[in-house]
Amino acid sequence: MALIEQPSANRASKPRPDDGRLLRGKRSRERIRKAARELFREKGFDAATLRAIAARADMGASSIYRHVQSKHELLVLDLADLQEEAWSNFRQNDDRQSDCSARVRSFFRNQHRLLAEEPDLTVISIRATTYPEARVARRVLALNDRTIGLLAEILMQGRMRRDLDRNVDVLAAASALFHVATGARMSWANGLLTEQGCRDAIDASVELLFVGMQPRTDAS
């Protein structure tokens, strides 16, 4: 459990960036991640055997576990990268002055464009959260929270600009947006929606969350 309790005293294990062993380890990690990523893309997560990954990374299968806690983690690491990329893409094209719901839609489209290239990312990261005891589950949830946080930020700005009602609980709204998008992506992953259909469904849900379902006095 507790890999390193405490360095017992001031035996302070300095990281020492020139340690040959650590460098080797780092290079191995890179090889593993590269191999995994390639094989995931080629065959999909489930068909990409750990032994195959290990072979391509030129090492024994069990050695992988020196660097990674589970196969899921290999994918979740990519998810983290990709999210980072999606966020930075979004920020670059983001116009903070534009309409709040437009920004949210742009956010999701951005994310979706990247996810669409690697369908396993969505599906497997969700699968990972169905192993609640596992470390990876927490990590995925943390990533989700960051996404939700970003959405909340957008909403918050919208609320300040009076695009949104001032009583809206932005965090609840953000997580609702997130879950709705995730749900649509699951349908897509299961072949119930085309990619376009998935995007449309997300857009529709966003729209819905913005305007609500109750009758409105002003005619549409």
Partner DNA sequence: CGTTCTATGCGATCCTGTTCGCTTAGATGG
Partner DNA sequence: CCATCTAAGCGAACAGGATCGCATAGAACG
| CA dist., res. 9 & res. 187, Å (int) | 53
Site string for DNA, 25-44 (x = CB under 7 A): xx-x----------------
| CA dist., res. 217 & res. 220, Å (int) | 9
198 belongs to the binding site for its own copies (CB under 8 A): no
Q: Which of 6, 93, 97, 167 binds its own copies (CB under 8 A)?
A: 167
195 belongs to the binding site for its own copies (CB under 8 A): no
72 belongs to the binding site for DNA (CB under 7 A): yes
> Residue 76: which residues within 8 A CB-CB, separation 6 or more?
124, 125, 128, 136, 139, 140, 143
Burial class (CB in 10 A: 0-12, 13-18, 19+), 171: middle
For the chain, the straight-line distance linking the first and the last C-alpha, in angstroms and rounded, comes to 58
Q: Candidates 45-53, 86-94, 137-145, 150-158 — which segment interacts with DNA by CB under 7 A?
A: 45-53
66 belongs to the binding site for DNA (CB under 7 A): yes
83 belongs to the binding site for its own copies (CB under 8 A): no
62 belongs to the binding site for DNA (CB under 7 A): yes
43 belongs to the binding site for its own copies (CB under 8 A): no
Helix runs in the chain, H state only: 20-43, 50-56, 71-93, 100-117, 120-128, 135-160, 170-189, 195-211
Length in residues, the chain = 220
Quick one: residue 52, left, alpha or beta (phi over 0 = left, psi -120 to 50 = alpha)?
Answer: alpha
The residue among 67 and 199 lying less far from its own copies, judged by its C-beta, is 199
Minimum distance from residue 187 beta carbon to DNA (Å): 22
> What part of residues 118-147 is at the interface with its own copies (CB under 8 A)?
123-124, 126-127, 129-132, 137-138, 141
| CA dist., res. 133 & res. 130, Å (int) | 9
161 belongs to the binding site for its own copies (CB under 8 A): no
Residues found near its own copies in the complex (CB under 8 A): 46, 123-124, 126-127, 129-132, 137-138, 141, 155, 162-169, 172-173, 175-176, 178-180, 182-184, 186-187, 189-192, 201, 204-205, 208-218, 220
